[in-house]
Amino acid sequence: FAGYISQVLKNYTDHACDGEYVSLRCPHRTTISIQSSFYGRIVPSHQMCPSRYPHSYATLIKEDVACSVGTSLQKMLDECQDRRSCQFLVNSRLFGTDPCPGTSKYLIVWYKCRPNEYKSKVACEDDKLRLSCKKSMVITIYSAIFGRTQGGSLECPYQNLGMPMIECQSATALQLMIKRCHGKRSCSIYASTYEFGDPCYPGIQKHLNVIYTCDSTPLLLPVDETQLPVLTSSMEPVGVSTEMALLSNILAAYAFIT
């Protein structure tokens, strides 16, 4: 269980060239949440996924470096979303019509590992947010947003003051919530600009939305741990060493979420 939070908060990245298998895996008690996907080619083959065609043949065709498939995200959602792991062979037939025949392509997938069970709490601006877990359980913060989201909040309806619906979010909300609440049985914080700063224009109403879980074992690693987590008997490996090298550290996950 050591390092569970650092694995959950990471922004995972994996890639595979045409003819290779892509394999996504998440830790125990989490499932895959696809964030983005790209299939095609936007860099020359000498930089990524060299062409499988003989050099003499490759010189006869002009390599397309502005080639992409619009169905890659939906295909990844169909294959992997909400699963513990998924694996499949990458080729153009998987994504429908080949947009650039004769050009070798590659797939890049960005994903997160979402807890199977989680709780969500919302506090309107200047209200106090309280999080608590049952006895012998502690808080694990998964995400935190302070600001104004495009969809708004049912708990905190916005007054129409003539302001356009502009999305704005604090860049430090997740770090602050982890510092204040992570690993504790209960905690409280005001959803105020004093705590989080003001990421929006003056007069825009904001709210704090936190997603968290209650876990029975305290986490042993600091949340800013940049080393790969140490596996224990209660954890399962995420993947082989080549896949682990593709994982970004927790600081990159912070930036991605915000």
Domain locations in the chain?
Answer: 1-115, 119-215
Between 149 and 13, the higher pLDDT residue: 13
Give yes or no for residue 222 having a pLDDT over 70. no
Give yes or no for residue 244 having a pLDDT over 50. no
d(CA 193, CA 125): 8
Mean pLDDT of 53-63: 55
Lowest mean pLDDT across 3-7, 92-96, 174-178: 3-7
User: What is the per-residue pLDDT for 4?
Assistant: 53
User: What is the per-residue pLDDT for 66?
Assistant: 87
Give yes or no for residue 56 having a pLDDT over 60. no
Amino acid (one-letter) located at 21: Y
Mean pLDDT of 239-248: 32
Mean pLDDT of 185-210: 90
Between 240 and 155, the higher pLDDT residue: 155
Confidence label for 54 from pLDDT (cuts 50, 70 and 90): low
- List, in order, residues 6 or more apart from 74 with CB less than 8 Å away: none
Confidence label for 164 from pLDDT (cuts 50, 70 and 90): low
Largest CA distance in the chain: 70
Lowest mean pLDDT across 35-49, 121-135, 164-178: 164-178
User: What is the per-residue pLDDT for 76?
Assistant: 93
Round the average pLDDT of the chain to a whole number and report it: 76
1-115 fold = Jelly Rolls (2.60.120)
User: What is the per-residue pLDDT for 166?
Assistant: 73
User: What is the per-residue pLDDT for 135?
Assistant: 84
Considering the four listed CATH numbers 3.40.640.10, 1.10.10.10, 3.40.50.2300, 2.60.120.740, the one that applies to the domain covering 119-215 is 2.60.120.740
Q: For the segment 16-30, what is each residue's pLDDT rounded down to a tens digit? A: 999 999 999 988 778
User: What is the per-residue pLDDT for 98?
Assistant: 86
Mean pLDDT of 140-164: 73
Same fold, 1-115 and 119-215: yes
Give yes or no for residue 236 having a pLDDT over 50. no
User: What is the per-residue pLDDT for 155?
Assistant: 75
User: What is the per-residue pLDDT for 211?
Assistant: 86
Lowest mean pLDDT across 6-10, 120-124, 126-130, 155-159: 6-10
